[in-house]
């Protein structure tokens, strides 16, 4: 099974999700999204595949996220593309779907 993870190695939840993927024997592509940001179109694709809204994927603890509380999806996606710290992590994709790995065990649903 192939999997892609938007990963922040400094995040314990992201590291736990990556470990779950490895334990499952997944062929994992790791994207350190802070170093290699995704564009708004790719983020929109991922959220749509997971049945998520961009607001679901917004890291609400970030100060910049508060300014997006009433923003449209396109504005949220543009903000995430410009400032990837706004993306809730980890975001994991397999052929079965896309989930936000919070808690990391959520990844099991797409294995």
Give the residue numbers annotated as catalytic, written as ranges: 11
2 token code pair: 């192939």
The arrangement of strands across the sheet holding 2-7 comes to 27-32, 2-7, 91-94, 97-100
Residue owning tokens 């995430």: 80
Alpha carbon 9 to chain centroid, angstroms:
13
| C-alpha to C-alpha distance for 93 and 82, rounded to whole angstroms | 21
| C-alpha to C-alpha distance for 42 and 60, rounded to whole angstroms | 20
């Amino acid at each position: 099974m192939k999997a892609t993870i938007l990963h922040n190695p400094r995040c314990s939840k992201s590291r736990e999700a990556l470990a779950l993927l490895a334990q499952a024997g997944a062929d994992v592509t790791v994207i350190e999204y802070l170093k290699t940001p995704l564009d708004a179109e790719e983020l929109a694709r991922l959220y749509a595949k997971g049945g998520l809204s961009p607001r679901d994927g917004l890291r609400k603890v970030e100060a910049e996220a508060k300014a997006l509380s009433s923003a449209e999806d396109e504005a949220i996606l543009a903000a995430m593309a410009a400032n990837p710290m706004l993306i809730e992590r980890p975001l994991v994709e397999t052929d079965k779907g896309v989930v936000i790995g919070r808690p990391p065990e959520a990844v099991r649903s797409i294995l």
